[in-house]
Homo-oligomer: A and B are copies of this chain.
């Protein structure tokens, strides 16, 4: 199984136009630079179509934004775990609030990911859902209250009890499952608050992708991680 050193900053490129095509490669290069400078692990999650250009030219862990809970076969237009693995991806997001899955499909997708040696970072909207996912033994869970996503109001500051509650609940069920948090993470302070609450990393999107100076934004966050850990 791939090895990712914690804590980690996970950058979700979503389908932002600022992170599409050649701009995805440019953002991933910034992430690689910041990771090299600070020694902090940074994972990028580009769109499927932009992954090959990144994995073939950079040295940074790449996750897919989603895989489908399928085996090879007749599934036109779906995302086959083996296909994602074949282009150098280390893991995948699953069950993001913009791409929720059936419970039985989360279970199956985690197993399929393990079969092809992909790490799984599964999103959960609250502590009880996070606990249920912990029982399915993914690599990590990101707790993300959907009402805060994209708001710039960080979960680690606005709802600290959700982060600490998720850490406690998840570790109690399966101590080897890593716990990240996301939603509204926009500054070094938000990152620092998250780690102090027990999170082993953060998941963010617009604050990096849409930043006027993505490198500066990310650098300050990575330095916060380096200082805390």
A: which residues have CB within 8 A of B? 12, 14-17, 20-22, 45, 47-53, 64-66, 70, 72-80, 82-84, 86-87, 93, 95-107, 124-126, 128-129, 131-133, 135-136, 149-150, 173, 205-206
Q: Please tell me if the beta carbons of A87 and B125 are within 8 angstroms of each other in the complex.
A: no
For the complex, what is the distance from the CA of A148 to the CA of B219, rounded to whole Å? 44
For the complex, what is the distance from the CA of A72 to the CA of B106, rounded to whole Å? 26
Residue of B49, B79, B82, B103 near A132 (CB, 8 A) is B103
Query: Which chain B positions have C-beta within 8 A of A107?
Result: 125-126, 128-129, 132
Q: Please tell me if the beta carbons of B16 and A72 are within 8 angstroms of each other in the complex.
A: yes
Q: Please tell me if the beta carbons of A83 and B15 are within 8 angstroms of each other in the complex.
A: yes
Q: Please tell me if the beta carbons of B98 and A104 are within 8 angstroms of each other in the complex.
A: no
Query: Which chain B positions have C-beta within 8 A of A66?
Result: 76-77
Q: Please tell me if the beta carbons of B132 and A83 are within 8 angstroms of each other in the complex.
A: no
